[in-house]
Amino acid sequence: MPQDPAPKHLTITLDFDLQTPNSTVGEARIKAAYNAAVEAAVAAAAKKFPEGSVKTITADMRWSYRWIEQREVLFSRDDEQG
């Protein structure tokens, strides 16, 4: 039997593409930025949703380093056929 009202979920994804020449971004700074982003999102949502409507809030952090070369990548239908 369906719940009344049906549960609703809001997922917000933030992807920070960091471009800091000649520098690295360390774990402490990443965690601080993540915590600030989560706090800001929770505060903003609390202002917009009716009081008591938010049942739970979960947050998840994943970070990685990706190196991208400056070459252009082109694909054609011939590439897909192997």
Predicted pLDDT at 67: 66
Predicted pLDDT at 71: 60
Contacts with 55 (C-beta within 8 Å, 6 or more apart), sequence order: 7
Domain range spanning residue 81?
1-82
Predicted pLDDT at 6: 80
Low-confidence ranges of the chain (pLDDT < 50): none
Predicted pLDDT at 40: 94
Q: Provide φ and ψ at 2, rounded to 5°.
A: -70, 150
Query: Total structural domains in the chain?
Result: 1
- pTM comes to 0.63
Instruction: Compute the C-alpha angle 52/54/57, nearest 5°.
Output: 140
Predicted pLDDT at 79: 55
Distance CA 14, CA 62 (A): 11
- Whether residue 37 contacts residue 14, with contact meaning beta carbons closer than 8 Å, is answered with yes
Predicted pLDDT at 78: 67
